[in-house]
Amino acid sequence: MKTATSLLALILAPLAFAADAGDPFAKVLDGKAPAITKEFIAPPSGITVRRVLFRIRDKNEAYAVIAIPNTPGKHPGILVLHGSGGNAEEEKAMAWAQRGYVAVAPDMPGLYSPLTRGDLPMSKGYADGRYSMQPDTTKSVIFDGMLAAMKALDLLRSLPETDTANVGVVGVSWGGTMTTMVCGLAGDKVKAGFAIWGSGYFDLGNWRGGKPSPTAKPGALAANMTAEERARWLRDLDPGRRAPNMKAAFFLAGAANDFFGWPEAVQATLDAIPGEKNHFYAPNSNHKALIPGGTGFEGVKYDPKHPQLIGARANWLAMEVPYFEYHLKGIGKPLPKVKLAKSDDARLARFTVEAPHPILKAELYWAAPFAAETLKDPSLLAKAVVDRKWSAVPATKNGDTYEAAIPAEAAQWFILVSDDRPMSVSSDMITVGAK
């Protein structure tokens, strides 16, 4: 028979254990308030926000945020596409609605965080199945990701508030790749696209830096595909191969040291676009653009009296806003345009700039060639692309033409100019000695 003392000991035993250093909770239950990692804000006044699931194909559904201005009449539309590991860009969609656009921001299979919404049985985990090509292309989750983006475009165009003659697409990273793909597939359904680190021609980019791995998850690594599967993936799912069908005005924001969209892939994508196009290469930058109009958002200030989503919460690049204002609303002036001019001196770059605003800076950026051993090893080449140094040479203006010296050791070069808005654009990437 237990005494009162022994019963009290049994009751207090768990409390004693909780204070013991061996209790897994003892080290983490410190009584301090947790850090808030994300706050889901209520819709700002003046817009309506809807959160929906929409059908992709078969039983597959995707989540999307729809943000609509409360002002009467039709508004230009914009499709907002998240990057790898992200989700439907709710704040960016609301920011576009605050500016007077109807915005749709979907989740895309194969690209989002595993904590997504909707019934998507093909997505077993983050990035699984991107390069699964058996029995056919539809086995790749990227096919469903691209289909989700296209269906989201159809959803955007179907909304009664959308002016279907003025629809744009913007996205970052894999979302930039999807932007290029959507503009290629959609033809004249899209008026303007802005892809950030989103080129096609994967075979000229990071794929060249990959090696097969027997331990990789099935379909997670491009290097594990057979030659036939790679050719079929590029034919069906590579945005560069769809670029010749593009009807939209298009801007491709490239980083000269990007780990995935290498300059050769960016240039090949641009070369494949038959219509209006523009771009920049951000020097010494990997998946960012610390240039005027880029990712820095210099001078951005928040006004508490007039709550407005601004800066990085509202856009990936500052240049997006004046770009779409011009192409979808007819407000403002176009971006500058760099045109290379003929030069009789192989070591002198000559160019002109169509510039509706004053040009504040014009420079030539150049890089030395890769070492021979680097070109033979995919892993070394991938690292060298990211670590490559691009050096600046100021350009001088003679009348309507700019000139800049090309150093003797340069293997590749491009021009970068910035105006006073600020907005930045580049020339094509030039390989010395190439014909």
**pTM of the entire predicted model:** 0.88
CATH number at residue 374: 2.60.40.10
Residue 240 and residue 156 share a domain: yes
For residue 133, being part of any structural domain is answered with yes
Confidence label for 35 from pLDDT (cuts 50, 70 and 90):
confident
Are 132 and 139 within 8 A, CB to CB? yes
CATH number at residue 147: 3.40.50.1820
For residue 86, being part of any structural domain is answered with yes
Between CA 88 and CA 348, with CA 335 as vertex, the angle to 5 degrees is 120
Of 265, 298, 332, the position where a domain reaches its end is: 332
pLDDT at residue 240 is higher than 70: yes
The confidence score (pLDDT) of residue 121 equals 41
Residue 298 and residue 388 share a domain: no
Residue 343 and residue 254 share a domain: no
Of 332, 363, 378, the position where a domain reaches its end is: 332
Residue 325 phi/psi, 5° resolution? -60, -40
Q: Which domain holds residue 340?
A: 334-435
The rounded distance, in Å, linking the Cα atoms of 87 and 107 is 5
pLDDT digits (tens, 9 = 90+) for 218-231: 888 999 999 999 99
Residue 357 and residue 285 share a domain: no
The rounded distance, in Å, linking the Cα atoms of 124 and 139 is 13
Instruction: Identify residue 434 by its one-letter amino acid code.
Output: A
Residue 424 and residue 350 share a domain: yes
Rg, C-alpha atoms of the chain = 25
Per residue, the 3-state secondary structure of 145-198, as one string, reads HHHHHHHHHHHHHHCCCEEEEEEEEEEECHHHHHHHHHHHHHHHHCCEEEEECC
Are 46 and 65 within 8 A, CB to CB? no
Are 196 and 171 within 8 A, CB to CB? yes
pLDDT digits (tens, 9 = 90+) for 401-413: 999 999 999 999 9
Q: Could you give the number of structural domains in the chain?
A: 2
Confidence label for 82 from pLDDT (cuts 50, 70 and 90):
very high
Average pLDDT over residues 296-318: 67
Task: Tell the burial category of 25 from Cβ atoms under 10 Å away from its Cβ (0-12, 13-18, 19+).
Answer: exposed
The rounded distance, in Å, linking the Cα atoms of 172 and 249 is 17
pLDDT digits (tens, 9 = 90+) for 139-159: 888 888 899 899 999 999 999
Confidence label for 306 from pLDDT (cuts 50, 70 and 90):
very low
For residue 355, being part of any structural domain is answered with yes
Residue 308 and residue 343 share a domain: no
What integer best gives the mean pLDDT of the chain? 88
Peptide bond preceding 135: is omega within 30 degrees of 0, i.e. cis? yes
Residue 228 and residue 148 share a domain: yes
The confidence score (pLDDT) of residue 352 equals 98
Residue 405 and residue 310 share a domain: no
89 or 43, which is more confident: 89
Helices (H) and strands (E) in the chain, counts: 10, 17
Residue 236 and residue 110 share a domain: yes
Tokens 């303007």 correspond to what residue? 192
Residue 270 and residue 360 share a domain: no
For residue 1, being part of any structural domain is answered with no
25 or 390, which is more confident: 390
